[in-house]
Amino acid sequence: MSALASSLQVADDAAPALTRGPGKARRRLRWLASTLLTAFITLLGLLVVTFALGRVLPTDPVLRVVGDRASQEQYDQVRREMRLDQPLPEQFVAFVGDMLGGNFGRSLVTGNPIAEDVVRHFPATFELATMAIVLGVLAGIPLGVVCAQYAGRLPDHLGRVLSLAGHSMPIFWLGIVGLLIFYANLGWVAGPGRLDLAYRYSVPTVTHLLLIDTLLAKEWGAFRNAFSHLILPASLLGLVAMGYVTRMTRSFLLWQLRQDYALVLRLKGLSESAILWRHALRNAAGPILAIVALTYAYLLEGAVLTETVFAWPGLGMYITDSLFAADIPAVLAATLLVGTIFMLVNIASELIQAALDPRSRSV
């Protein structure tokens, strides 16, 4: 009887553990379904807004294609080919089908498929944004930790002033000043553009990322030239990213240092430095990485002013040139791509935070 009683007691103790597993799985499935539903609604909203903008703008897309001297028959034919003679619901269904299928139409300026133009311009923005976020994180997170460690003292004040300056100074002004100092006067970096003309046709295109393509081709001179073009705009964008990352890192860490576990660790005799680096920084890793992901999404949207000042042939400059040329299909397609990128990076940041935040482990 004692053996039977003990086995029943073990079964009773194991029952909650067995029931907790499926419950946790269901909650995680509900969270994943909610995230996917949010992504679907966001994408649908982007499509609706993009479609509506294309219909309310005062420019006539048919006239942009056929020109002012086209006959009425030519105008009507192009209008039918663009499906503008159909009811709005049918136009929207066709628009969604084209967008999801990657058929963004043709640029009214270049005459190329818009998808090809985007593929050609986006890698430049990706390269610039990636270098900028790496520099911003390498400087911003340590500076934020130092500010939190010396909160209210001189290092904190200096770090906050530096982060505020980096986050608030106009980027176009920084770009002009940077070109005047480091390119025109000191000659430390290359000027506007992505690569000098002497190297432009010596590097075979593989990934459309110049630093990688020059390394693959073992063109060391072209690599140094591409890096010299990239480092100044990336550093200025990295300064902007550093300002935001520093401020948010400081805020997250100060909040962690006010929690009960920090008080317990102090009572156990741990130093403030050990509490900050070993415990607070680890617990704040999820929110910090989420901020880094959102900052990266902002940079990937296309730093329009930076790309304009440095004549950087990225997505932001492509959107600006298309807007000035009234190339509405190109503007709408690039805008939809930007919104999709921001949505995907936002979802990725939520997944990162859910994986790293200790409180989410009980979800």
pLDDT tens-place string over residues 207-263? 888 889 889 888 888 899 999 999 999 999 999 899 889 999 999 999 988 888 888
User: Is residue 22 scored above 60 in pLDDT?
Assistant: no
User: Is residue 12 scored above 70 in pLDDT?
Assistant: no
Query: pLDDT band at 58, cuts 50/70/90?
Result: low
pLDDT on residue 319: 82
Residue spans of alpha helices (H) in 57-113 = 61-66, 72-81, 88-100
Q: Which residues pair with 113 in a beta bridge?
A: 106
Angle at Cα 140 formed by Cα 139 and Cα 141, nearest 5°?
105
pLDDT on residue 139: 92
Structural domains in the chain?
A: 114-362 (1.10.3720.10)
Q: Which residues pair with 106 in a beta bridge?
A: 113
pLDDT, average across residues 255-276: 86
Per-residue pLDDT reduced to its tens digit, 103-125 = 777 777 777 888 888 888 888 98
Residue spans of alpha helices (H) in 218-327 = 220-257, 260-267, 272-274, 281-283, 285-300, 304-309, 315-324
pLDDT on residue 318: 85
pLDDT on residue 119: 84
Nearest partner of 238 among 174, 311, 173, 314, judged by Cα: 174
User: Is residue 18 scored above 60 in pLDDT?
Assistant: no
Q: What does each C-alpha distance from 74 to 79, 195, 220 come to in angstroms?
A: 8, 43, 53
Tokens 């949010």 locate to 38
Nearest-angstrom CA–CA distance, 82 and 28: 44
Lowest mean pLDDT among 45-54, 60-69, 332-341: 60-69
Nearest partner of 149 among 243, 256, 240, 268, judged by Cα: 256
User: Is residue 313 scored above 60 in pLDDT?
Assistant: yes
Query: pLDDT band at 17, cuts 50/70/90?
Result: very low
Structure tokens at 195: 């690569």
Nearest-angstrom CA–CA distance, 307 and 310: 5
Percent of residues, the chain, with pLDDT higher than 70 = 86
Structure tokens at 132: 């900028």
Average pLDDT for the chain: 79
Angle at Cα 67 formed by Cα 64 and Cα 69, nearest 5°?
155
Per-residue pLDDT reduced to its tens digit, 183-209 = 989 889 888 888 888 887 888 888 888
Nearest partner of 222 among 234, 213, 214, 230, judged by Cα: 214
Q: Is 201 exposed, middle or buried (0-12, 13-18, 19+ CB in 10 A)?
A: exposed
Lowest mean pLDDT among 63-77, 302-316, 332-346: 63-77
pLDDT on residue 112: 80
User: Is residue 358 scored above 60 in pLDDT?
Assistant: no
The pTM (predicted TM-score) of the whole model is 0.78
Rounded CA Rg of the chain: 27
Structure tokens at 193: 């553009």
Query: pLDDT band at 19, cuts 50/70/90?
Result: very low
3-state secondary structure of 201: coil
Encoded amino acid at 117, one letter: D
Per-residue pLDDT reduced to its tens digit, 59-107 = 666 766 666 677 777 777 777 777 777 787 877 887 777 777 777 777 7
Nearest-angstrom CA–CA distance, 236 and 110: 31
pLDDT on residue 228: 92
Per-residue pLDDT reduced to its tens digit, 163-190 = 888 877 888 888 889 899 999 898 898 8
Q: What does each C-alpha distance from 336 to 44, 115, 225, 325, 333 come to in angstroms?
A: 11, 12, 33, 18, 5
User: Is residue 311 scored above 60 in pLDDT?
Assistant: yes
Contact 200, 210 (CB under 8 A): no
